[in-house]
Amino acid sequence: MGQRLPNPTTLFTSKPSAACTFLSLLVICILGFYTLHYVHPAPSSSNPQTALRFRRIFLSHATNATVASYLRALTLHPHLAGTRPSLDTAHFVRAHFMGLGLDTRSAHYNSLLSYPLRSSLSAHFSNGSHVDIPLTEQGLSAENGVVGAYHAYSPSGSAHAKVVFANHGTDEDYRALAELGVNVSGCVVLVKRGGDLPRGEAIGKAEQNGALAVLLYTEGGDGFKKGFERGLVRSGAGDPLTPGWAGVDGAERLDPEDPEVLKRFPKIPSMPLSAKAAELLLATLGRSPVPNQWRASLPAGVRGVGPGPTVVNFTYQGEKKLVAIHNVFAVIRGAEEPDRYVLLGNHRDAWTYGAVDPNSGTAALLDIARRYALLMRSGWIPRRTIILCSWDAEEFGMVGSTEWVEQNLANLGSKAVAYLNVDCAVQGPGLFVRATPQLDNLIVEVTKKVKDPDSEGATVYETWMSANRSIDIQRLSALDSDFAPFVQHAGVPSIDMYYGRDFPVYHTAFDAYDWMVNFGDPLFQRHVAVAGIWGLLALHLADDSILPFNFLSYVDQLKHYKDVLSSLLDGSVSLHPLTTAIQEFAYAAKEVEHEAQRLRDVQSTSELVLLKKRALNDRLMLAERGFLDSDGLEGRHWFKHLVYAPSSDHESELFFFPGVADALFQAKRMSGREGQAKIQHEIWRVARAIQRAASSLKGEIF
């Protein structure tokens, strides 16, 4: 006979030895760890068939009228960040989440925002007449709660000077003026918004050329030429007084006069101008003829660029003040991997009513929350935690999202699976998507499941393909929405999407509910499509046992970037480090894709299989962090991502490898050898970043 085993109950009856006590505690700790982190699958979402059923329920419970009602409620009043109506909007979103029974949280920060106090503009013509130019939309005033037309963080100032037209205000445009013998020094420059040049950069270039002030206008569509495009003119993201750390209560803050703060702000004042007022000024300019390359985009009656003879009297006074901003969250805790986060985000604050920007996205987010709550009542629990994020003060430089990312950087770095951003959900027809490349395949597959809002019987994917002849997914190098801190600072895989390339009422008081129902999306079908895509993306990222990342798309992009860069270099700089790093990354991407496919095919739910899936998912999740560099970009250390971030040269041909793009720009002002060394160093930095990402995918130190 075998040895008789003792009764388990007797193990704890006699006095244990020190060794037994230690072993018992060790076993308890290990069991506790696995209980917390590797819970056995819940039947609600881990089973593929069950997950498919929940995704179908999610899609089937979309209602256009519900989304429309959310948008109507959100846009009853203007709600500029830092104002009482903006706080009311935060309370509305919070009440919605709580009413659905969702775990609702909030976070507030004290941030430096900018507001107008008074402004005036008058034009004085050569015949002795003059006209006072209104600085808000006709029929609207402060009594409606609409803020007057202004540029946030513009310095106060005044000017009485001749007007010069500088087209888009690029370096090339100022060179064209110089060829005509036009000097803008001592003048007020009139600039037409266009291209990729940010407002602040256009003002900075005018200042470099000696201008006293800048008037910026945007061409409105028919019927909207009297709109004023409000906007931001400072550089960077987040609170200017807390660069790199969160502006929580009691936080360290830089002095507003600190050089690190002041360098973010323009040195000359500026104001937005309506297209109607701009045409009035353009029609009265003379002296130098309009360059031929500018004529196509100007009204037929424009004859010259100035200076003058028209003179403007320009005055702007504003204030910067510390105000409280409020982020609101709904948390749906995951059953199996609660410490892995899938985040969906949109900002609430608007320059005026915000029907397009941003509350078309807010309405979609609220509807996703409603549908997720319905799934929960049907028994669904996500595998991973889903967090719905409603940001504040995005219009002032992604302040709410940036402060939260900076506050939670360590946790996001180790736990964030992906961030899915929708700012303006609907601007018009046509789907546009930007993403980090490992999410490309997921985006394609999800769009095959959602009905197209504008083509009967077609899916979004089919219409997208027919319009572009291919799936055109752009990248996330711009600093223009809340994905920026997630990608460019924290290295979190991200998506940004919207319907419609642009719209004529951008940042004007005409961006109201009436515009949406008359022009943007009368039946709210595009809103429903965006919510469907957005919500399904999150369901896959939260519920799929293996994260639906495919890094082979990243490999293709990196190879393409290397080829483009090669075409810009003269051979004096070696791309060998980059080529080698991409080859290493490609090998790792192929291996991890094979591993993922093998584990997807495994039906077992044993502890060992769960551990293997968890380990693989962590490598997939963390690979994007490899592209970060702790030193950041030279002179712009907040930007850590060496593949996707904005270049300091906004006229650069490169929308990738921002450090290399900066070096190419700076090398123009250096000796040949010094410039080549700078470019070569940045290429090495990118190569090392790609190698780090490859190592993360492989998951091995040796």
**pLDDT single digits (tens) 236-269:** 999 999 999 999 999 999 999 999 999 999 999 9
CA distances from 690 to 51, 291, 561, 631 (A): 35, 45, 13, 16
Residue 273 CA to residue 149 CA, distance in Å, equals 8
**pLDDT single digits (tens) 13-25:** 333 333 333 333 3
**pLDDT single digits (tens) 325-349:** 999 999 999 999 999 999 999 999 9
Give the pTM. Answer: 0.93
What average pLDDT does this structure show over 477-499? 98
Residue 384 CA to residue 238 CA, distance in Å, equals 28
Question: Can 595 be counted among the known catalytic residues?
Answer: no
Residue 112 CA to residue 406 CA, distance in Å, equals 16
Output the pLDDT for position 258: 97
Bridge-based pairing state of the strands 337-347 and 384-391: parallel
User: Is 408 buried (19+), middle (13-18) or exposed (0-12) by CB count in 10 A?
Assistant: middle
Residue 323 CA to residue 563 CA, distance in Å, equals 47
Amino acid at 206: A
Task: Tell me which DSSP letter residue 313 carries.
Answer: E
Output the pLDDT for position 364: 98
Strand stretches in 103-219, DSSP E: 103-124, 130-132, 151-152, 157-165, 188-192, 213-217
Residue 159 CA to residue 311 CA, distance in Å, equals 10
CA distances from 76 to 71, 95, 157, 389 (A): 9, 17, 34, 22
* DSSP codes of every residue in 490-503: T---EEEEEESS--
> Would you state the structure tokens that stand for residue 322, as one six-digit string?
């510390």
Amino acid at 478: A
Residue 146 CA to residue 351 CA, distance in Å, equals 8
Q: Tokens 């901003």 correspond to what residue?
A: 325
Q: Which residues pair with 326 in a beta bridge?
A: 108
> Would you state the structure tokens that stand for residue 687, as one six-digit string?
């190569």
Whose CA is closest to 275, among 301, 295, 298?
298
- Contacts (Cβ under 8 Å, ≥6 apart) of 89: 74, 79, 348, 349
Residue 689 CA to residue 200 CA, distance in Å, equals 30
> 394, 395, 584, 682: which one is catalytic?
394
pLDDT band for position 220 (cuts 50, 70, 90): confident
Flag whether pLDDT at 320 surpasses 80.
yes
pLDDT band for position 38 (cuts 50, 70, 90): very low
CA distances from 149 to 164, 254, 273 (A): 21, 28, 8
What average pLDDT does this structure show over 416-433? 97
Residue 659 CA to residue 681 CA, distance in Å, equals 9
Inter-axis angle of helices 672-698 and 607-622, nearest 10 = 170
Flag whether pLDDT at 441 surpasses 50.
yes
Flag whether pLDDT at 501 surpasses 60.
yes
